[in-house]
Amino acid sequence: MPSGKLRIALVGGTGNQGPGLALRWALAGHEVFIGSRRAEKAARVASELSERLRAVGVDYEFKHGQNQDVVPEADVVVFTIPFKGVRPTCELLAPKIGAGCVVISPVVPMKKAEFGLTIELLPEGSAAELIASLIPHARVVGAFHTVSAGLLNAIPEPVKGDVVVCGDDREAKEVVMGLVRDIPDLRPLDGGPLAYSRVLEALTPLLITLGKRIGQPDLGVKFI
Amino acid sequence: MPSGKLRIALVGGTGNQGPGLALRWALAGHEVFIGSRRAEKAARVASELSERLRAVGVDYEFKHGQNQDVVPEADVVVFTIPFKGVRPTCELLAPKIGAGCVVISPVVPMKKAEFGLTIELLPEGSAAELIASLIPHARVVGAFHTVSAGLLNAIPEPVKGDVVVCGDDREAKEVVMGLVRDIPDLRPLDGGPLAYSRVLEALTPLLITLGKRIGQPDLGVKFI
């Protein structure tokens, strides 16, 4: 795993959290690939995001391609996809993802409840553990569950909040904690093993529901 | 429900979170009753807590008694008990708790997991909803899940953090939000209906596990 500049592939990078992470990591000097199921969509979003960086005075060209084409050379793959896409995406990408590749899961299995959103319980325990079971040669790390797409998108404003990072491989977790620090002013916290994602993923529906109720749609969290 | 000075009965008030809440609400001018299963223990802790207030220059005498003797006249009853005590305590106290009494549940059903603590799933959905089902004439409010006993105890230091309050009775929720504001510098947030305690109670094992891991045993939370 190289230190410094990383090759980061955002699977489903045209969706909700993908563009904001892409912008932030481009600004931090990484080589960012926008992946999508459709090559044209990836190309369009890559072009729009490059334009947004030019608007803040940064000359940068995002790479892009279909998900299966952007992951093979990546140091870090990020699953910025909804939970329902996890299983087919893993089946498609597992043969393309390199051994030891760091895979970040911000995925949260949510469902509607009478009071708002809640976590959907999985036999595998969590989305991150499901991904780890489907891509066993990758080093899966859970992170970025508590950071809103809206705040990530609002470059060059700093993003307030904490990101709890969990995983079973210490080096992979360190890489991801570095990627959190690359986004001002986010703070990474070591949440321990990957199984901690079972409680960690539950923070997302809690934040979305509470944020709607109190009128703060981009609600984040700080541990004090 | 009177405004201003309230009669607050802490059921199991000699335990973990009870003494700190008792000290804080005494300092805010409320009439606080320390309840316990054993009258002598309640008397001893009430005396120790009165002594602690004298040490900071405040003359105050805590009332005390067995749980079933302190709840009948209370405006607010707080269940500062472990989850395993909920059912027998509710059965004992339901006939003694007045109609419309505000009952605060900071109770969290937790169990050990390989990675730390996690929430125990209940058929009733949450500890707060279980209490509401067992004392249907009370107005149950979930609150104080994210405030450590250690910080509450450390008078006169302010307590940093947020307390999400949820319940189905607006007036009862307002009373509890006032009791949060009575503790500097806690901030109450309206978490909506009582069923939101299903996700809210999960914050406690998340905070305890993370706090241990990062070496902050009194970890709290702030929504930003």
pLDDT for residue B4: 87
Among candidates A204, A5, A200, A7, which has minimal Cα distance to A102? Answer: A7
How would residue A1 be classed by pLDDT, with cut points 50, 70 and 90?
low
Residues in A closer than 8 angstroms to B121, CB to CB, are 121
pLDDT for residue B1: 60
Q: Is A180 within 8 Å of A163 (Cβ atoms)?
A: yes
Q: Is B96 within 8 Å of A174 (Cβ atoms)?
A: no
Q: What percent of chain A stands above pLDDT 90?
A: 98
- Single-letter amino acid code for the residue at B34: I
Chain B: nearest CA to A69, how far in angstroms? 36
**Res. A14: pLDDT tops 70:** yes
Averaged pLDDT, A65-82: 98
Each residue's pLDDT tens digit, B166-210: 999 999 999 999 999 999 999 999 999 999 999 999 999 999 999
pLDDT for residue A4: 87
User: Partners of B32 in the beta sheet?
Assistant: B8
Angle B127-134/B86-93 helices, nearest 10 degrees?
A: 30
Chain B: nearest CA to A187, how far in angstroms? 13
> Any CB–CB contact under 8 A between A193 and chain B?
yes
Buried residues in B83-115 as b, exposed as e (16+ CB within 10 A): bebbeebbebbeebbeeebbbbbbbbbbeebeb
Six token digits for residue B117: 């603590």
Angle at A219 between CA A213 and CA A224, to 5 degrees: 115
Averaged pLDDT, B98-109: 98
The interface predicted TM-score of the complex, written ipTM, equals 0.94
Six token digits for residue B32: 């606080």
> Any CB–CB contact under 8 A between A190 and chain B?
yes
**Res. A189: pLDDT tops 80:** yes
**Mean pLDDT of chain B, nearest integer:** 97
Tell me which residues of chain A, numbers 58 to 77, contact chain B at a CB-CB cutoff of 8 Å.
Answer: none
Are the Cβ atoms of A190 and B223 closer than 8 angstroms? no
Q: What percent of chain B stands above pLDDT 90?
A: 98
Question: Quick one: which H or E segment has residue B199?
Answer: helix B197-200
Among candidates A124, B163, A97, B64, which has minimal Cα distance to A107? Answer: A124
**Res. A86: pLDDT tops 90:** yes
**Res. A217: pLDDT tops 70:** yes
Residues in B closer than 8 angstroms to A211, CB to CB, are 223
Residue given tokens 């807590």 in the structure block: B49
Among candidates A101, A95, A105, which has minimal Cα distance to A69? Answer: A95
For chains A and B, CB pairs below 8 A equal 102
pLDDT for residue A3: 64
Averaged pLDDT, B108-137: 96
SS3 content of chain B, % helix, strand, coil (to 5): 40, 20, 40
What is the 3-state secondary structure of chain A? CCCCCCEEEEECCCCCCHHHHHHHHHHCCCEEEEEECCHHHHHHHHHHHHHHHHHCCCCCCCEEEEHHHHCCCCCEEEECCCHHHHHHHHHHHCCCCCCCCEEEECCCCEEEECCEEEECCCCCCCHHHHHHHHCCCCEEEECCCCCCHHHHHCCCCCCCCEEEEEECCHHHHHHHHHHHHCCCCCEEEECCCHHHHHHHCCHHHHHHHHHHHHCCCCCCEEEC
Q: Alpha helices, DSSP H only, in B94-156?
A: 127-134, 149-153
> Any CB–CB contact under 8 A between A124 and chain B?
no
Residues in A closer than 8 angstroms to B160, CB to CB, are 224
Ramachandran category for residue A81: left, alpha or beta (phi over 0 → left; psi -120 to 50 → alpha): beta
**Mean pLDDT of chain A, nearest integer:** 97
Neighbouring residues of A62: CB distance < 8 A, sequence distance ≥ 6:
A22, A26, A32, A33, A34, A46, A47, A49, A50
Which pTM does this prediction carry? 0.95
User: Partners of B188 in the beta sheet?
Assistant: B163
Residues in B closer than 8 angstroms to A120, CB to CB, are none
pLDDT for residue A50: 98
Averaged pLDDT, B98-127: 95
Q: Which residue of B has its CA nearest to A120?
A: B199
> Any CB–CB contact under 8 A between A214 and chain B?
yes
Averaged pLDDT, A144-162: 97
Q: Is B178 within 8 Å of B165 (Cβ atoms)?
A: no
Q: Is the peptide bond before A156 cis (omega within 30 degrees of 0)?
A: yes
Averaged pLDDT, A75-85: 98
Averaged pLDDT, A138-150: 97
**Partner-chain residue, chosen from A113, A199, A210, that has the shortest CB–CB distance to B223:** A210
pLDDT for residue A2: 58
Q: How many Å apart are CA A142 and CA A107, to the nearest integer?
A: 8
pLDDT for residue A163: 98
> Any CB–CB contact under 8 A between A207 and chain B?
yes
pLDDT for residue B2: 58
Task: Calculate Rg over the CA atoms of chain A.
Answer: 16
Q: How many Å apart are CA B224 and CA A160, to the nearest integer?
A: 7
- Single-letter amino acid code for the residue at A209: T
User: Partners of A103 in the beta sheet?
Assistant: A77, A140
Each residue's pLDDT tens digit, B23-64: 999 999 999 999 999 999 999 999 999 999 999 999 999 999
